Structure 1
Amino acid sequence: MFNKIIKRAHAHKKSAKSGHHENSSNGQQFYEVVMKHASRTATATATPAAANSDPVPSPSPVPLPRPLVIEHLPPLREVPSSERPSLFLRKIQLCCILCDFSDVSKNATAIEIKRQTLYELVDIVQSGSFKFTENQDDLVKMISANIFRCLPPASHENTATETGDPEEDDTFLEPSWPHLQLVYEILLRYIVSPETDIKNAKRYIDHIFVLKLLDLFDSEDMREREYLKTILHRIYGKFMVHRPFIRKAINNVFYRFIFETQRHNGIAELLEILGSIINGFALPMKEEHKLFLIRALLPLHKPKSVHTYHNQLAYCIVQFVEKDNRLAEPVIKGMLKYWPVTNCQKEVLFLGELEEVLESTQPAEFQKCMISLSRKLGQCLNSPHFQIAERALYLWNNEHIISLVAQNRSVILPIIFEALERNMQSHWNQAVHGLTVNVRKMFMEMDTELFEECQRRYLEKEAGAREQEEKRELTWKQLEAVAAQAVIG
C-alpha cells in the first residue's frame, strides 16, 4: 500500500512539471508581485526581470508607456528640429521607469541619467522653447507614474505607539526625492505655464488626478507636502471647473481624520490652502461655505494633535468671522463645545484663538454667547495650571475685549467675580496673583457700585457657606457622641 502511495506522488510531480513547461512554452509570463504596507493603498510592482515582458492588465486608469531601458539620450537642442518631437517623447518614456533607491551605489548610473533627463524636461517646460502641448497626455502619464505610489508605513505603525509627537519623531526623508522633486517641478511648471491650454489640460488633470494628489498629503516628508500644497493651490486657481470638487474632497479628508483615523500628516498644509481660498470668498457668503465652517473646521478642534495645525486652523476661523461678523456666535459656541478638559496645552491654544475671534466680534454677537463664555473664562481663571490662568487674564489687556466687557459688565462681572476673589486668596502663582489684582482694579474703576454689590454678595455667600460647614461639623459631632454612648451602654 505504501509503495502505491509513493508511485502516485511521483506521478503527480511529473504531471505538474510537464504542465508548467507547457504554460511556459505557450508564452505565458509570470510576474513577481510585491505588496506594500496594508495600512496604505496597496500597489503591485513588477520586478526588473518582468519589466521587459508584455504588460499585464492593470486596474490603473492611467496606462503607462511600455518600459524602456534607461540609456543616455542626446540633449534636445543638439538634434535637428525634425527629430525633436520623437526624442522628447523618448525622454518622457525613459522617465517613466522607476529607479530602485534601496541600493544607490548599484543603480548610480541609471539614477543619474534619469535625474539629468528630468532636469532637462524641467527646463523645457519652463522655458517654452519647445511646444510640449502635443505630448500633454504622455507628460501627465510620466508624472503619475513617478509621484502616485504607495506611501511607506507611518512612523507610529513602525514603533507601535498609540500617539506620536511629530517634534520628537525622526524626520522621514523620501529616498527617491532627487527624482521626485524634479517631477513635482515639471508638474508645477506645466500647470502655471502660459503654454498650457486649460480646456485640454483638464482632460488629464481631472478629478481622479486631484484625489490621488490629496492622498499624497499624508506623506511624512515635509518637502513633498510643501510641493503638493503649492501645486494643489495652483490647480484650484487655474482650473475653475475643479473648485467645488477640490473643496468637497478636502472636506472628506477632514471628516475621515476627525471621526475615523485621528492621524494625518498634511492637515496643516490643507488648511493653508483653505486659508487662501476663504480669503477669496465673495460676500454674501454662500450657505455651503458656512456649513463647511460648522461641520469641518470647528470639529478640527477635537483631535489631540490639534497643536500640529492650530495656527493654520485659527487663521481660517478668524477669516470667516472677519468676512461675516454674524458667524462669531456659532464659532465661539463651537469652541466651547470642543473645549479641552484635561489637555493644558490645548487649552492655552484655545484661549489664544478665542482672543483673535473676539477681536473681530461685534457687541450684538457677543451678547448671544457672553454668559457661557464668561463661565468658561471663570474656570480658566481658577485653573491650578498657571499658564492657563495667566493666558485667560491676558485677555483683559485687549482694548476691544475690554470694550465688549464694559458694555456688558452687569452680566459678566457677577459671573467671574468669585473666580477673581479666589485667585486673590489662594492661587499659588505670584504672576497670576498680580494679574488678578490688575483685572480686579480695572472692574472697580469701571463700575464701583457694581463692584461693591458683587463683593457684598460674595461675602454673604462665603458667610453662608461657613455657616453651613459649621452646622455640618456640629451634626457629625452629635452623631459621634450618640454612637459613643451607645457603645458604652
Structure 2
Amino acid sequence: MLKNVKKQFGLVKANKPSGEGGRDGATSADEAGTANGGRDRTGSSASAASKEGAKREDGSMFNRVAGAAASAAGGFRALSGRIGGGNRDGSVRGRSIPSMETLYDKSKPLFLFRDVPVSERPGLFVKKLQLCSYSFDFSDPSTNTREKEIKRQTLIEIVDYVNQGPGRFNNQVLEHINFMLAQNLFRTLPPSSSEQTGLAKAGMFDPEEDEPSLEPAWPHLQIVYELLLRYVLSNDMDIKNDNPYIGQFFVLKLLDLFDSEDPRERDYLKTILHRIYGKFMIHRPFIRQAINNIFFRFIYETEKHNGIAELLEILGSIINGFALPLKEEHKTFLKRALLPLHKPKCVGMYHSQLVYCVTQFVEKDPRMADVVIRGLLKYWPVTNSQKEVLTLGELEEVLELTQSAQFATVMIPLFKQISLCINSTHFQVAERALFLWNNDYIVNLMAQHRHALLPVCFGALEKNASDHWNPVVGGLTINVRKMLQEMDPELFAQCREQWLAEKERLAEVEKERQQRWSKVEKLANGTH
C-alpha cells in the first residue's frame, strides 16, 4: 500500500532541496558536526504553485520552499483522506474515523498490550492510534473528562509499547501514526494573550515580563510529542530513501508550531526539529531556508514570534557543524538573516542565542569579524538604551575573537561609535562602554593601533572626566585616561594639545556666532 501511496502522491521523490542539484555528499560533509547531535494552500492551487515555482529561478531555494509547501499540502490532505482524514473537531471527510461515542464505548474497551498475544499487538496498536486520533476541546475542563483520561492513558501505553523494542514502526502502522500525529499537533494556534486582551494594540504588552498563556491540551500534547520524538529517532525508519511522511511539508507544519506561546511545546519542537535535521540530510538545506523565511517575516513584517530563541538555538548547533571554508550560502545567511535580527525592539528575548550564532561565525572564520562589526554598527540602537547595553556586550565578545588585521579595517568607525556611548547621558551605556578597557585582549588591540585610536576617543574621555553627571562613570573615565597616558605618555600629550587647540577653536566659533545673533537682535529691536 505504501508503494501505491508514494506513487500516487509523489511524496517520495520530492524536489531535493540541495543548492547544487541535490549533491547530498557536500551537505553531509558541511554539517558533519551536527549529524549526531507554511501555510496550507488549497488543493486546486497546489499544482499551480509548484509550476510557478519551477518557472522562477531554478536555483532559488525560496521557490523550492514555496513549491514544496503547496505540492506537499495537496498530497498530505489526500493521504489523510485515504486513512480517514478529518478536521480538528473530529469531523472527517472521505473514509471517516469512528465517532467519539464509538471509540470510547464503555461496553467495548480496548485490551492492554500485555493482555493480548504478540501476534495481535500490531492490530491493537492501530486501534489505539485511531482512538487517540480524536481531538478534544480543552477550553471547558468539565466536558468529556472520562474520554480525555482514557485517551491520556492510551497515549502513555502507546509510548511504553514503542519503547519496548524495535519493529514497532512498521509499514502497517506508519500511515496511522502519521495521521494521529497530524490530528493532534497540526492545528491553528490561538491568538496570543496580548491580542485577546488588546494589550498588543495599546503597546502595553511586554513579552519579557508578562506570563505566556499555556496550552490547555498539554496533558495530551506532551505525550504525543514524546511519541513523535521516538518516531523520529526510531531505527525502523529508512533514512536512505525519502520518508513519505517526514518530508518538507511535515517540517513546515512543525515550524508553524514554533509560534506557540507555551514554552514547553517550543522546547519539544526544538529537540524534534534538531533530530530531524541530524537524521535526514536531504532536508538540511530546506530546513535552513525555511527558518530564514520565518526570520525575514519577523524582521521586516511582524516583529512578533514566540519561537525565535528556540530556532536560534537549533541554528547555533548547525553553525557549529559548518565545514571550512564557509560556503557563500552561509555567509549570506549571516548578513541577511542573523545580523538584521538585531533590529527588532524585542531583541532581548533571544539576544544570548543570537550572540552565540554570530560568534560561532567569527570563531570559525576570523575574517567574518569585519562583516559582523559593520553589521552591528549598521543596526546600532539609537533610542533604546537597554538594547545599546546588550550590543556593547556582544561587541566585546566579538572583539575577543577578532584578529589585528580585521580590527584595523573597522577600528575608526567602531571607536567613533564607542566615543558616542562614552558620552551617553544614560549611565549604564557609558559604564558598559568604559568596561571595554577592562578586557586585556581589547586593550592590547587598542595599544597596537593607539596612534589612530587615541585621537578618536580622547575628546570623549576628557569631556566625561569633567562634565558627566554620574560619579561612577566619571571615576571609570579617569581610570581609562590614566591607562592611556601610561601606555604612551608622548602620544597622550600630543592628543591633549590637539584637543585643547580644537576646544579653543570651537570656543572662538561659538563666540562669533553669539556676536552675530546679538547684532541680529539689535537690528530687530531697532526696526520695532
Q: What is the TM-score with the length of structure 2 in the denominator?
A: 0.79
Q: 8 Å contact 1:42–1:150 — kept in the other structure?
A: no
1:456 to partner: Cα distance: 0.4
RMSD (Å), alpha carbons: 2.1
Which of 181, 206, 214 aligns to 2:222? It is 181
| Aligned counterpart, 2:7 | none
| Aligned counterpart, 1:202 | 243
| Aligned counterpart, 2:402 | 361
Residue type at the aligned position of 2:77: S
1:156 to partner: Cα distance: 2.8
| Aligned counterpart, 2:97 | 67
1:58 to partner: Cα distance: 11
2:205 is the alignment partner of 1:167? no
Secondary structure of the structure 2 residue equivalent to 1:152:
coil
Residue type at the aligned position of 1:372: P
Secondary structure of the structure 1 residue equivalent to 2:424:
coil
Unaligned regions of 5+ residues in structure 2, if any?
Answer: 1-38, 43-73, 85-95
1:129 to partner: Cα distance: 6.1
Q: Give the Cα–Cα distance (whole angstroms) in 1 for the partners of residues 237 and 408 of structure 2.
A: 53
Which of 271, 282, 288 aligns to 2:329? It is 288
2:313 is the alignment partner of 1:276? no
Q: 8 Å contact 1:101–1:107 — kept in the other structure?
A: no
Cα offsets for 1:231-277 (capped at 9, x unmatched): 00000001111111101110111111111111110000000000000
Cα offsets for 1:355-400 (capped at 9, x unmatched): 0000000010011111100100000000000000000000111111
The structure-2 alpha-carbon separation of the partners of 1:42 and 1:104, relative to structure 1 and needing over 3 Å to count, comes to: farther
| Aligned counterpart, 1:350 | 391
Q: Give the Cα–Cα distance (whole angstroms) in 2 for the partners of residues 484 and 102 of structure 1.
A: 76
Which of 418, 421, 426 aligns to 1:377? It is 418
The structure-2 alpha-carbon separation of the partners of 1:87 and 1:431, relative to structure 1 and needing over 3 Å to count, comes to: same
2:175 is the alignment partner of 1:137? yes
2:438 is the alignment partner of 1:397? yes
Unaligned regions of 5+ residues in structure 1, if any?
Answer: 1-39, 44-56
Residue type at the aligned position of 2:395: L
Identical aligned residues as a percent: 59
Q: 8 Å contact 1:293–1:317 — kept in the other structure?
A: yes
1:475 to partner: Cα distance: 3.8
1:155 to partner: Cα distance: 2.2
Q: 8 Å contact 2:166–2:236 — kept in the other structure?
A: no
Q: What is the TM-score with the length of structure 1 in the denominator?
A: 0.85
2:281 is the alignment partner of 1:244? no
1:195 to partner: Cα distance: 3.0
Q: Give the Cα–Cα distance (whole angstroms) in 2 for the partners of residues 239 and 486 of structure 1.
A: 85
1:466 to partner: Cα distance: 1.9
Q: Give the Cα–Cα distance (whole angstroms) in 2 for the partners of residues 115 and 479 of structure 1.
A: 85
Which of 315, 328, 342 aligns to 2:369? It is 328
Q: Give the Cα–Cα distance (whole angstroms) in 1 for the partners of residues 247 and 176 of structure 2.
A: 15
The structure-2 alpha-carbon separation of the partners of 1:458 and 1:139, relative to structure 1 and needing over 3 Å to count, comes to: same
Q: 8 Å contact 2:133–2:180 — kept in the other structure?
A: yes
The structure-2 alpha-carbon separation of the partners of 1:374 and 1:77, relative to structure 1 and needing over 3 Å to count, comes to: same
Q: Give the Cα–Cα distance (whole angstroms) in 2 for the partners of residues 402 and 67 of structure 1.
A: 70
Residue type at the aligned position of 2:186: F
1:148 to partner: Cα distance: 0.1
The structure-2 alpha-carbon separation of the partners of 1:292 and 1:58, relative to structure 1 and needing over 3 Å to count, comes to: closer
| Aligned counterpart, 1:49 | none
The structure-2 alpha-carbon separation of the partners of 1:90 and 1:408, relative to structure 1 and needing over 3 Å to count, comes to: same
| Aligned counterpart, 1:219 | 260
Q: Give the Cα–Cα distance (whole angstroms) in 2 for the partners of residues 196 and 229 of structure 1.
A: 21
1:171 to partner: Cα distance: 2.0
Q: Give the Cα–Cα distance (whole angstroms) in 1 for the partners of residues 461 and 211 of structure 2.
A: 44
Secondary structure of the structure 1 residue equivalent to 2:464:
helix
Cα offsets for 1:111-151 (capped at 9, x unmatched): 01100110011112222266332312211111111000010
Residue type at the aligned position of 2:153: Q
Size of the alignment, in residue pairs? 436
| Aligned counterpart, 1:157 | 195
